[in-house]
Structure formats: structure tokens, C-alpha cells
Chains A and B, each alone.
Chain A
Amino acid sequence: MPQTLYDKLWQNHVVHQEPDGTALLYIDRHLVHEVTSPQAFEGLKLAGRKPWRVSSVVATADHNTPTDHWDRGIEDAVSRLQVETLDANIREVGALAYFPFKDPRQGIVHVVGPENGATLPGMTVVCGDSHTSTHGAFGCMAHGIGTSEVEHVLATQCLLQKKSKTMLLRVEGKPGKGVSAKDIALAVIGHIGTAGGTGYAIEFAGSAIRGLSMEGRMTLCNMAIEAGARLGFVAVDEVTIDYVKGRPFAPRAEHWDRAVAYWRTLHSDAGANFDSVIDLRAEEIKPQVTWGTSPEMVVAIDARVPDPAKEADPVKREGMERALQYMGLNPNTPIGEIRIDKVFIGSCTNSRIEDLRAAAAVVKGRSVAASVKLALVVPGSGLVKQQAEREGLDKIFVAAGFEWREPGCSMCLAMNADRLEPGERCASTSNRNFEGRQGAGGRTHLLSPEMAAAAAIAGHFADVREII
């Protein structure tokens, strides 16, 4: 019987199955960061348990770390304690790799894993972080877990899981100029809604997806959770294999050929059955900008802020009214007329080298608008930062009036000092526009790196297609 990629990945990891279908799944890679792990390590210790296989663990500090003045260390004492707790826990139990604060390879966990080859096709990848879906780009079964499950994986190398339903999300065609993986992701969420993927494992397929680079696929899979799906993935192809080859933790010598032979089987078979199939056309996707407080509240750059009066569903209408009030926006305002205070280019969604190149291409030779108070570029990792500096991208950003920072999660969730003040409006390449996400009272608009760069230059949202 033809199998979906999800069926194959699932089957390859089942250790045991209960009569009600609850399965014990083996976990290949466990990514760890400082925010969701301290209670797990403590729980393990209190129960007198040892970690099952520490060579599955790759850890880094990213959420709390500052992005400037590294010479001063972490000035916030509460943040510092959390990072030092991770240092102590990894020192005590060990790991395959640890990239602590200030390490040249430190960075956002979902950037660090793939760039070091610690994420390999066909793996189960988990992390106490919802954006673990990012690693699905490699044909992995990758998803976020809570801290109890972090402890469970540490102690048993397994997770208790029930199989999700399957969704095939096909995007055919060629995206237009200035339309990126982020726009595809936002358009998908706008189409199926933030709960559209709840209970599903989404396989992204079609010529537009196959045409994406690995970094583009990571951006797309990263946002699967914003569509409600814990799992989003793309089948393995030559693009995947070329990306992995030669990275520090990639298989070497005779293991490489065996691995590749297996990886080439990681696709859905022709005729495989999905519980749901959704089709989108790439040509119809325009650059996207969110207007509200949920990623599904999204429109194209040439559209207007929607009018709640036209919404029939009362719960939805009330949600729209509340969002507009929070965002300080009036219905029917053209998106291109909304002025911004800050710009954030970074996060596990859009902080990789191609993102920075795309933004720099828009910025080059131009200046950040005088009305923009702060424009930040936060590379996803130390390695991304080094690469960008080799290419001179830092100079382009700084010359235009951007600040060039050290790597970390930064203003995506504002656990460090980078944040919005109440009422400030931000063009952000991150993944969530929830109330208070980038700082209490802050107003977030999600968009692509190209579009964030265009907004920085214009001082308001602008159609990058008219600039490049």
C-alpha cells in the first residue's frame, strides 16, 4: 500500500504501541535551550534518574542572551541564572554538542541544529520549543514539546504519541519576484487559519516548495505551528542532501552512502492517501503583511485593513475588533499607509544567511527612514553572522542606519532587553504577532525580510516588488 512520508517516519520510530493507538516513539535528536529545560533536569535529578542517551542532546542558550555588549555578560540577573543553570546542567550530564553564550557557534537552536548537520533527514527531532517544526524541512518528524516531555525524553529517549491526521498542502507554480517562503507561509496560514492544521501533520509539496532552498523550506516548516500543526515537513530531495553534505555532524565515509540511500526513500509514495488536501497557486501569492494579533490576520501588501462590520461570525467579529483596537488601526486603511516605529530582522523564522542577503539587497544604497526609531538585524547564529560579515552585509546594514547585533532570539519574544515599548509598531520577520509578544503593548506586523527592509526604508509598509 502506498505510504505517506509521515507513515514512513512514524513506522521507523515506533518502539511499542498501546491498544488505544498511543505509541512509544524513539527520539533521535533532542535540542535543548535554557528556558524550557531547567525544570526537566531538576525533575530528573529529584527522581534519581539518569539521562538515557546524552549523545542525542544538542544544546545552546538563545532566548535570554543579549544581542549587544557581550563584554558585559548577561546583565539581567534572572536571565543570567537561567543561562548558568543550563551551563551547569550540561556540564553535569553532557551532550553531543553545547554552544553556550558567546561561543562562536552559539545561536538560535533552530538555526544551530541544521547548520551543524545535527538535524539529519528521517530523524525524530524534539525540543521544548514550538518552532521545532522548522526541522521538518529535512524530511524529519520534528515538533515542539513541553517541559514534562523534555524530562521524559531525557529519561527514556522516547515520547508517548498518538498519530496525527495527514494534510497535503500543495503549492504549484513559480512565486513572483519579491515573494519569499515567508509569504507562502503567511498565505497558507491566512488560507487555513491558525487552527487549520490542528491535529494534522502537514506535508508541504508541489513545484513551488521543491523550488525553495533548504533555508526557505525551514522558514515554511517553522510557521507550520502557526497554522496549528505541530509537524510540518518537506520530502527529501537533492536540495536536502546537498545541504547536509559536509556539515560537522553529517555522516561521513561509508555511512554517507548508506544514509543517502535511506534518505532517498523519504517521500510520499504516488497514490498515498491524505486525510486532507489543500492546493494553492504560487503566482497568486503576493507579499504578505499581518494586520492583527494572530498570524491568520494577514493580507497582501496592496490590500486594506479588513472591516469587522463585514464579518458575519460574532466571535470572529469581536476578535477582529479587539485586534484592531490593540493594534491601533482603523478598518479599510491601506496597508501601505501604516507607519512603523521599529524594524526587526531576525528570529528562527528569518535570520539565516539568505534572509540577510535578501534584506541587504533591498537596503543597499538606501537609508532607514528618519521616523524609524530602531532597525535591528539579529543574525540567527554566530556562523551566520561571520558569513554575513565575510560578504560585507553588515556594512550595508550599518551604512543604511540598521544596528548589527549578536545572535539570539532577541525581539521575536523579547525575553532579553530587545523589545517594543507600549504602542510601538514593528515590522518584524518573526513568527508571532500576539498581544505583548515583542513587549507589553507592542504592535507586531509579520512580514518577510525583503518586506521588512522595504518598510525600514519607507518608514511605512511598502511593496518590495516596486523597489527591487
Chain B
Amino acid sequence: MDKFVRFDGLVAPLDRANIDTDAIIPKQFLKSIKRSGFGPNLFDEWRYMDVGQPGQDNALRQRNPNFVLNLPRYEGAQILLTRKNFGCGSSREHAPWALLDFGLRVVIAESFADIFHNNCFKNGILPIVLPASELDALFAQVEATPGYKLTVDLERQLVVRPDGKGLPFAVDTFRKECLLNGWDDIGLTLRHADLIRTFEEKRRIEQPWLFA
């Protein structure tokens, strides 16, 4: 996983609550056995006028001119601004894979669904929770300002607006360390392999039916 470094990123606003992972990446694209290549089908049903299929040349498809991520001013966005309960529904990790493949590294919302929130960290995406009042202000600023960028500073746990105002956010210490260092969870866990083995052996004696 790439290390998460401080960056200035173009912001795209997606002003809806309860965006589910079926909307982020529809089911037909889940048939892939790869981790990459989902970006062109991110928000497929909203982005294109037709119903997409795996293996299609997406460049030839007609885009929905009204969908926000199709607007030229948001091309190259790295930060997605949205509303509450983002990523609800299916546990599909294809959702963060699609966001990442599209170029998004940060999602800012009022709240996130648990499984999606967890999946983000496994892929180097930072989900940031901000209060509704700050989000309202950000939506207004983004819409009023072409080329609107935010600075995301994970080290200091701050989103910095162009006018210099810093918006603090919370993040688990452990997850923060993993993102900043680009650590692989499995490698970290396997440092405790002896503890796992000891636990397992004890369990095998106490609850043998679990190991039948």
C-alpha cells in the first residue's frame, strides 16, 4: 500500500445522503477476479446513459452530461465531498477499489457505513467525518469556486480550506499509523503469530467442537 502523504486535491461534490455500494460499483462489475480496472465504472448507472457491461469500451459510451463527476471542472478530482451514511449496503471492496482506480484518495462525509469505512483504510483511502455545518460550508465553497482544492494533512488530522481555516478530524491511532507508513495489515498481524498459535491451542482444548 502506498504511504498516505499530505496533499492538495481538487474536490468534487456529490450532494446525496445514503449512497450505497451498489451505486458506487454496480453488481455486473463484481464478476471480475482482479483488484484493478474498476475506475471507469465508478457510479456507472449515474455516469452513463446506457447500462454498462463488463469488458465494454467505456470511452465509446454516452455520458450523462448532468452527473457531477462528468463536469470538466471536476476532472482529476482526488477528494469526494458527500453526505451522511456513505458506502452503506454491500460489503464489496470493489467500491473502494473503484474510487481509488478513479483517482480519489479521500472521501469527506457526515458519516460512513462501518464496513465501507473499514475497507477504505485497507486500500489507502482516507474517510474523513466532518460535522454537517462544515460540510454545508464546503459544498457552498466548492460550487462557488472552480478549481477548489483542499489540503489533507493526516499527520496533523486537519483538512485545510483555501481561506486557511483548518477543520480537525478524528482517526484511530492505529489506522493512522498504518496509512502514514503504508503498512500491510497481514504482515503486522503475523508478528503476533506465536500469540495466535497459543490462543488457538488453548481454544482447541477448551472448545474442541470448534476444531472438529
Does A associate with B in a complex? yes
Q: Which of A143-196 contact B (CB under 8 A)?
A: 143-149, 151-152, 155-158, 160, 162, 194-195
Question: Are A35 and B83 in contact, with the CB atoms below 8 A?
Answer: no
Report if B31 contacts A (CB, 8 A): yes
Among A26, A81, A194, A437, contact of B196 (Cβ-Cβ < 8 Å): A26
Q: B192 — which chain A residues lie within 8 A by C-beta?
A: 15-16, 24, 158
- Residue in A closest to B114 when the chains form the complex, CB atoms: A230
Among A147, A228, A437, contact of B113 (Cβ-Cβ < 8 Å): A228
Question: Are B45 and A146 in contact, with the CB atoms below 8 A?
Answer: no
What is the CA–CA distance of A414 and B35 in the complex, to the nearest angstrom? Answer: 21
Q: Mark A112-123, 1 if CB is under 8 A from B, else 0.
A: 000000001011
What is the minimal beta-carbon distance from B194 to any residue of chain A, in angstroms?
Answer: 10
Question: Are B186 and A162 in contact, with the CB atoms below 8 A?
Answer: no
Question: Are A155 and B190 in contact, with the CB atoms below 8 A?
Answer: yes
Question: Are B172 and A24 in contact, with the CB atoms below 8 A?
Answer: no
What is the minimal beta-carbon distance from A247 to any residue of chain B, in angstroms?
Answer: 12
How large, as a class, is the contact surface on chain B?
35 or more
Question: Are A258 and B27 in contact, with the CB atoms below 8 A?
Answer: no
Q: A64 — which chain B residues lie within 8 A by C-beta?
A: 31
Known contacts A38-B33, A39-B35, A152-B185; decide if A195 and B85 are in contact (CB<8 Å): yes
- Residue in A closest to B93 when the chains form the complex, CB atoms: A146
Among B34, B84, B209, contact of A255 (Cβ-Cβ < 8 Å): B209
Question: Are B190 and A156 in contact, with the CB atoms below 8 A?
Answer: yes
What is the CA–CA distance of A24 and B17 in the complex, to the nearest angstrom? Answer: 33
Question: Are B174 and A22 in contact, with the CB atoms below 8 A?
Answer: yes
Report if A199 contacts B (CB, 8 A): yes
Number of interface residues of A (CB under 8 A): 82
Q: B203 — which chain A residues lie within 8 A by C-beta?
A: 26
Question: Are B196 and A436 in contact, with the CB atoms below 8 A?
Answer: no
What is the minimal beta-carbon distance from A456 to any residue of chain B, in angstroms?
Answer: 25
- Residue in A closest to B177 when the chains form the complex, CB atoms: A20
Report if A85 contacts B (CB, 8 A): yes
Q: A53 — which chain B residues lie within 8 A by C-beta?
A: 200
Among A28, A162, A259, A319, contact of B172 (Cβ-Cβ < 8 Å): A162
What is the CA–CA distance of A35 and B112 in the complex, to the nearest angstrom? Answer: 23
Q: Mark B49-80, 1 if CB is under 8 A from A, else 0.
A: 00100110000000000000000000000000
What is the CA–CA distance of A88 and B192 in the complex, to the nearest angstrom? Answer: 30
What is the minimal beta-carbon distance from A107 to any residue of chain B, in angstroms?
Answer: 19
Known contacts A156-B190, A194-B88; decide if A251 and B212 are in contact (CB<8 Å): yes
Q: Which of B6-14, B117-125, B144-152, B158-166 contacts A (4 or more CB under 8 A)?
A: B117-125
Q: B137 — which chain A residues lie within 8 A by C-beta?
A: none
Report if A82 contacts B (CB, 8 A): yes
A148-B93, A315-B84, A318-B16 given; 17 more Cβ-contact pairs under 8 Å: A18-B174, A35-B31, A38-B33, A47-B186, A120-B209, A130-B90, A145-B118, A151-B186, A155-B186, A155-B189, A195-B111, A258-B208, A315-B17, A422-B51, A432-B22, A436-B45, A437-B22
What are 24 sample pairs from A and B whose C-beta atoms fall under 8 A apart? A15-B192, A15-B199, A16-B192, A24-B195, A36-B91, A39-B93, A76-B31, A78-B32, A85-B33, A120-B209, A120-B210, A123-B210, A130-B91, A145-B118, A146-B91, A151-B186, A157-B196, A162-B172, A199-B114, A255-B212, A322-B16, A415-B31, A436-B23, A436-B45
